[in-house]
Amino acid sequence: MRLARPEDRAAVERLVHDAYQPWIEVVGMRPVPMEADYAALIEAGRVHVTDDLQGLIVLVPEDGALLVDNVAVRPESHGKGIGRGLMAYAEEEARRLGLPALRLYTNVKMASNIALYTSLGYVETGREGVKGRSAVMMRKELSP
């Protein structure tokens, strides 16, 4: 894993597009990560990529938690454990930053994502609107 660099921007945007394109039909609109400003996120040091650019995770430190803002894996790499590896990396980062928990949100229609996060120990904390979409809010407390 490494931080994305400015020269990675096109590859990062392509990865996000390819990862979220199949969800457009399910959600009925472009998922929120497809609308993000990746140049600004990379500049801010928020985009972490696998060395081979098969996956990425956007992490935003907050007061009391690390926000997992986006997890994307190239479609041809699904089922290889990359997503789980990215989520484990997020836990390591939260611990490194001294944050006791992680939080994330995902569209209510992304049932497979909700199931994955639940299997990783995240619990639903509520539902709310996020940028015109209905989101499931989830959180995972880290053990000391």
- In the three-class reduction of DSSP (H, G, I as helix; E, B as strand; rest coil), residue 77 is classed as helix
- In the three-class reduction of DSSP (H, G, I as helix; E, B as strand; rest coil), residue 143 is classed as coil
Least confident interval from 11-15, 77-81, 119-123, 138-142: 77-81
Is the C-alpha dihedral spanning 35, 36, 40, 43 positive or negative?
A: negative
**What would the mean pLDDT of 128-137 be, rounded to a whole number?**
77
CA distances (Å), origin 5, targets 43, 50, 69, 72: 8, 12, 18, 17
Tokens of 54: 């098969």
| Residue 42 pLDDT greater than 80, yes or no | yes
pLDDT of residue 15: 94
Q: Are 102 and 85 in contact (CB under 8 A)?
A: no
Please state the domain extents for the chain. 2-141
Pairing of strands 2-3, 133-141: unpaired
Q: Please state the pTM of the whole predicted model.
A: 0.90
User: CB atoms < 10 A from the CB of 31, how many?
Assistant: 24
**Is 3.40.50.170 the CATH classification of the domain at 2-141?**
no
55-110: per-residue pLDDT in tens? Answer: 999 999 999 999 999 999 999 988 898 999 999 999 999 999 999 999 998 888 87
Q: Are 24 and 80 in contact (CB under 8 A)?
A: no
Rounded to whole angstroms, how far apart are CA atoms 87 and 91? 7
Dihedral Cα 131, 62, 120, 117, nearest 10 deg: 0
Helix (H) or strand (E) holding 85: helix 82-96
